[in-house]
Amino acid sequence: MTQDRGSCNLSSVTWEGRDDAQLLNSALRDREAFGVFYRQHALTVYRWFAYRVDREGTLAAELTAETFAEALRSLPRFAGTTPGSGTSWLFGIARNLALEHHRRRRVRDEARRELGMPRVGVVDESFQNAEERIDSGRLRDELDAALAQLPPAQRQAVMLRVVEELDYPSIAHATASSEPAARLHVSRGLRALRNQLTAAANKEE
């Protein structure tokens, strides 16, 4: 049975084990649901920022906090209903913040060059075409539904590989697993997705 957005106020014990879409759709009325969502995903988001933006971790912690603060502010606009849609939405916010960080750093680097000052840090070249990657990486409805059927570990690994375009060492770092485990999760997840999407396409014919 699908739970309406904010239809009830349940305890934190009840929220444990709910999928991300259920948590976010209930968080407007019960902030503990958002707290559970935060606890489930904060470390993964932090590791993603640490790899992409700040290996030392200080800035990564700040950007992680900003990501969840923006997610909390944007709750009324969340429209996902399937498991995994909340994670996809959250990483969309994280990507935008990372992109804005790199834009600001490029501006600062340009200003330092104009002033003849040494450049500080290196801009991550993977964000050069971030706008196109964000657009092309948006999940279609049928893919989102298929992702919802995957086990959580496979779903997360596939999203990091396909949506975030991370390499396998990065996926292993973000999920606190080994690189072989990351490869296995992605391989099995993609195989399951292919089978589900093929079956869905055959039904439509």
Report the chain (205 residues): mean pLDDT per 10 consecutive residues: 45 68 90 90 86 73 92 92 86 88 62 49 42 40 73 85 78 85 90 79 64
pLDDT at 144: 67
pLDDT at 77: 92
Own/partner pairs, 2-11, CB within 8 angstroms, 24+ separation = 2/81, 5/29, 6/30
- CATH topology assigned to domain 139-205: Arc Repressor Mutant, subunit A (1.10.10)
**What is the Cα Rg of the chain in Å?**
18
pLDDT at 90: 92
Map out the domains of the chain as residue ranges: 13-138, 139-205
- CATH topology assigned to domain 13-138: Rna Polymerase Sigma Factor; Chain: A (1.10.1740)
pLDDT at 159: 80
Query: Do 13-138 and 139-205 fold alike per CATH?
Result: no
Whole-structure pTM value: 0.55
